[in-house]
Amino acid sequence: MNMGTRFVATREAPVHDNVKQALIDHGERDTRLIMRTLRNTERVIQNEVVDKVLEIESKGDTKIEDIAPYVSGLVGKEMLADGKMEKGVMSAGQCMGLIKDVPTCQELLDRIMADAEKIIKDKFTQVMA
């Protein structure tokens, strides 16, 4: 189970509140796949920088040097710290559409466990016998 995107939207995550709010505000259809031409596909939140990367990639024969200024980890690190979401690209899964709040990690884990127990009890009663 991958939960990276979900745990970014927790109180303890060391990112700007704008980043957390972006995960709440965007839906599962607000992601794009970039760097496919480099066989290093990354799912990211769609924004103007992502559109520029996709435009460059659409021309063909893309090299990392062509898109490096837009996908640089340094730019992404700055974006996570200052919350300026149009500054760079941010990895995010389609689970964004399910993120509605910013709980603590403990609250999130408790919720996941309670949901799992309910599913097991409601759907798999024979397994529990």
State how far the Cα of 28 lies from the Cα of 23, in Å rounded to an integer: 10
Q: How many CA atoms lie within 13 A of 47 on its CB side?
A: 20
State how far the Cα of 30 lies from the Cα of 28, in Å rounded to an integer: 6
- Mean pLDDT per 10-residue interval, the chain, length 129 residues: 92 98 96 97 97 97 96 94 96 94 98 94 74
State how far the Cα of 3 lies from the Cα of 86, in Å rounded to an integer: 24
**pLDDT for position 17:** 98
Residue indicated by tokens 């995010």 = 92
Pick from 99, 75, 98: which is nearest to 87 by CA?
A: 75
What phi and psi values does residue 95 have, to the nearest 5 degrees? Answer: -65, -10
State how far the Cα of 59 lies from the Cα of 72, in Å rounded to an integer: 20
**pLDDT for position 129:** 61
- Axis crossing angle, helix 64-71 with helix 73-82, rounded to the nearest 10: 20
Helix, strand, coil shares of the chain, percent, nearest 5, are 55, 5, 35
Tokens of 60: 């063909």
